[in-house]
Amino acid sequence: MAIPISYNIRNLKLRKGLTIMTALGIALTVTTAVFLMALLAGLKKAFMSSGDPVNVLVMRTGSVAELSGGFDASLFPTLKTLPGIAKDGQGEPLASGEWVVVVVLPRKDGTGEVNVSVRGLMPAGLTLRPGAKLVEGRWFTPGQREVVVGQSIHNRFSGANVGDNLDFAKGQWKVVGVFDSGGTAYDSELWGDVNQIAADFDRQGAFASVYLRATDPVAADALKHRVADDQRLKLEGTLETDYYEKQTSSGGVIKFIGTVVAVIMAIGSSFAAMNTMYAAVAYRSKEIATLRIIGFSRPSILTSFVIEALLLSLLGAVVGIVLILPFNGMSTGIGNQLTFSETVFSLHVTWGVAMTAVIFALIMGLLGGFAPAWHAARQDILTSLRA
Amino acid sequence: MTLTRFVSKSAFRNKRRSILTVLSITFSLLLLTVMMTVWHRFYLDKGDAQSAQRLITRHRVSLTQNMPVYYREKMRTVRGVVAVAPTQWFGGLYKDEKPENFFAQFGTDPAEIFTVMTDFKIPDDQLAAWQHDQAGCVVDSELAKKFGWKIGDRIILKGTIFPVNLELTIRGIFVAPQPSITVYFNQKYVEEAVSFAKGRSGTFNILADSPEDVPKVAAGVDAMFRNSPEPTKTESEKAFQLSFINSMGNVKAFILSICFAVVFATLLVSANTMAMSIRERTREVAVLKTLGFTQQSILKLYIGEAVLVALTGGALGCLLAAGLVVVLANAPGMGFFFLGMRVTTPTFLLAIFVSAMVGLLSAIVPAYHAAKLDIVEGLRYIG
């Protein structure tokens, strides 16, 4: 017969101080782990949702990022007339020649300067990114020194409000609008007219990339191959989704360090939990012997103590997750090795993260609880009663 | 039995508990030491004296903008400038895109780069061989070790920024004070293959007269180009590197919050153990008091016990950390993050100090209660 769980709960309550301290220890470990996982989840979200499966990004063969070099603008008309490209209301193909450059902006909180991406695009570039919605002001006017800023830029940098002037490259740029692309990588960019940007950065007559919007995902795939197959072009097409997915690799270091940190902390906490459980067993050796006499079997004693350890760690997990919740949605930036600039993303405590945290804590509880429970179950009844 | 012996005996009287506590503290301190090592490397390491004498100039707008290469000759006229070498980031791929195959590749002027990088040591004959081969390159010794390169080997760098694949012959291996994971080659190679690379340079490395001259040189260089169409930004080598680390995100807050969580968790573990162990010995405390031990000496006994346990854990943690850092520094697939990192003596001492403080703080409350204990009450205590 199994020992009721209420017995374990009452025991945990009885030794409040010990329970709270052990649970807090586990909670801190869980908090750290959740923090790191939430960071990764947020990063993934920013990059994964950035691409549009029907957009094809064309760059020079060998380029791994939009920042690295460009190709002659004379190729643009050829690209524009490829079959499979969607048309806008006027029957014009949705294709945009673009430049991405990096500028340095001061952070709002005064903690230094950060590299930020500036994208120059054609009006069609706005149409083929329906995910980007204007939340304030208006879009830039072609031919003017105007920029619209992404939501994250607007929040994190000074002088990025509508009506402000930003000083970069060859002079002042007027901020005329703020756009929101739903937490994607675009939110960390400034957008302006491609010709103006190219002129300011001495890059006229070329494009770093061309975006083509296909009629559907199948056409996008065909378009991608068509670009690569044309030997004269020396260009390569990538699905926008694939391009951004590759950029998630900048989270690799966080992921590695996060895993090491979480595992080491978990080992430490498991030892602490083991200590607590051994003490719990030692205090209750008479009780355990009595339970055995009443007729509870060794397996049920074992199970009972393991459950107690699991309850303890579950409490820790809950406290740990609660501790991190105030930070949910907090945004931070990460440098991107491919673009040299900062992508802003927010801490994202998803259900998946929370569930992983609970499982993580339960494993700690199991590791810490099994040996003491085994010890409890193996106790000699007579010696324990006499002690 | 001396007092010290009494403390050490009682610290480890419940072997299992003491070992578990020590192990728990060991792992926490291991993590703390590794984190502090990273911190030390990034924010405290000033670099050697020679590095403090160098500056890096980049385009005011951003690192990705190039400057005219003739800036170099103009820079020489700035007071305090001893030598200038142009460096252009190539950013090519070696073998594939895997992070473990990533290293820095700079196109430069073989005639002057080692005059600027005074602390990079290369045998004279190797330097001469490189200067005579336009398709030659020199590699960092650590990098050569990692990839098993020897002099005479050929490496191919697939261009990403510049549309050219460089086929380089290793002519020399240089030793840097700290692993630089760098390959230098002659920028002329790129310039001859790629027209837009001609006459441009991404950065300039400057050697100043003395470390004291560095701020003056920085101001002097920037003033010279302030009103030109392409203004510059010059900073010390360390400041330049730090801006790279900062671009990885808020690393400082990240490390600090982990350190804080670790220390607090250790404190909890240690306090837990001390509370358990002192409560168990309530009767013993009463006996000690009956024998004539004062409140103060009992307080000292228990605090000493906790500090001893924490120190044992701390010392073990430090040793493990030293080992782990070495493993991480040499692990394949780690890229360059941990390269050349090691646990320094100040870090060791700080970690030991933190563990002693943890022991001290964790014992104060339970030890105070024990010291205040009423003898009769204590003797009656049945646990």
> With 0-12 CB in 10 A as exposed, 13-18 as middle and 19+ as buried, what is B68?
middle
| Cβ distance of A265 and B265 shorter than 8 Å | yes
What phi and psi, each to the nearest 5 degrees, are found at residue B166?
-90, 130
Average pLDDT in chain A: 85
Which residue, B69, B176, B172, is CA-closest to B116?
Answer: B176
Over residues B218-223, mean pLDDT: 91
B-contacting residues in A 113-172 (Cβ below 8 Å): 113-115, 168-170
* Between A270 and A250, residue with greater pLDDT: A270
Over residues B367-375, mean pLDDT: 85
Over residues B91-117, mean pLDDT: 88
Percent of chain B with pLDDT over 70: 93
Strand pairing category for A206-207 and A209-213: unpaired
* Between A39 and B358, residue with greater pLDDT: B358
Contacts of B276 in chain A (CB under 8 A): 18, 275, 279
Q: Identify each DSSP E strand in A19-112 by its residue range.
A: 55-60, 71-72, 95-106
Tens of pLDDT along B149-202?
999 999 999 988 888 899 999 999 999 887 778 999 999 999 999 888 888 899
Tens of pLDDT along A80-123?
888 889 988 888 899 999 998 888 777 776 666 777 889 999 99
> So what's the pLDDT on residue B131?
94
Facing B28 at nearest CB: one of A252, A268, A342: A268
Q: Residue ranges per domain, chain A? A: 5-48+250-386, 55-215
- Residue A36, pLDDT > 70, answer yes
Q: Residue ranges per domain, chain B? A: 3-46+249-380, 61-230
Q: Does A110 touch chain B (CB under 8 A)?
A: no
- Residue B100, pLDDT > 90, answer no
Tens of pLDDT along A181-212?
887 888 889 999 999 998 888 888 889 899 99
> So what's the pLDDT on residue B154?
94
Tens of pLDDT along A262-302?
888 888 888 888 888 888 888 888 888 998 899 899 999 99
A102, β-bridge pairs: A117
| Cβ distance of A256 and B21 shorter than 8 Å | no
| Cβ distance of A269 and B265 shorter than 8 Å | yes
> So what's the pLDDT on residue B133?
93
> So what's the pLDDT on residue B355?
93
Distance from CA of A242 to the nearest CA of B (A): 15
- Residue B99, pLDDT > 80, answer no
> With 0-12 CB in 10 A as exposed, 13-18 as middle and 19+ as buried, what is B44?
exposed
Selected residue of A28, A242, A339 to mutate for chain B interface (largest B Cβ count, 10 A): A28
Over residues B250-272, mean pLDDT: 83
> So what's the pLDDT on residue B204?
95
Cα nearest neighbour of A250 on chain B: B248
- Residue B333, pLDDT > 60, answer no
The highest-confidence range among A339-343, B40-44, B367-371, by mean pLDDT, is: B367-371
> So what's the pLDDT on residue A96?
94
DSSP letters along B260-277, please?
A: HHHHHHHHHHHHHHHHHH
Facing A168 at nearest CB: one of B61, B99, B163: B61
Cα nearest neighbour of B228 on chain A: A170
Contacts of B26 in chain A (CB under 8 A): 268
pLDDT band at B10 (very low <50, low <70, confident <90, very high): confident
* Between A218 and A48, residue with greater pLDDT: A218
Tens of pLDDT along B72-97?
999 999 999 999 999 999 988 898 87
> So what's the pLDDT on residue B82?
93
| Cβ distance of B64 and A29 shorter than 8 Å | no
Residue pair A248/A48 in contact by the 8 Å Cβ criterion: yes
The highest-confidence range among A371-385, B108-122, B232-246, B333-347, by mean pLDDT, is: B108-122
- Residue B58, pLDDT > 80, answer yes
Tens of pLDDT along A65-81?
787 667 888 889 989 88
Cα nearest neighbour of B251 on chain A: A334
- ipTM for the whole predicted complex goes beyond 0.85: no
Distance from CA of A361 to the nearest CA of B (A): 15
Residue pair A54/A220 in contact by the 8 Å Cβ criterion: yes
Measured N-to-C along each axis, helices A5-14 and A298-324 cross at an angle, to the nearest 10 degrees, of 60
Tens of pLDDT along B266-282?
888 888 888 888 888 88
Facing B265 at nearest CB: one of A28, A252, A275: A28
pLDDT band at A42 (very low <50, low <70, confident <90, very high): confident
d(CA B161, CA A69): 5
Q: Identify each DSSP E strand in chain B by its residue range.
A: 54-59, 67-68, 81-89, 93-94, 104-108, 136-140, 154-158, 165-174, 182-186, 200-201, 203-208, 232-236
- Residue B320, pLDDT > 90, answer yes
> So what's the pLDDT on residue A91?
86
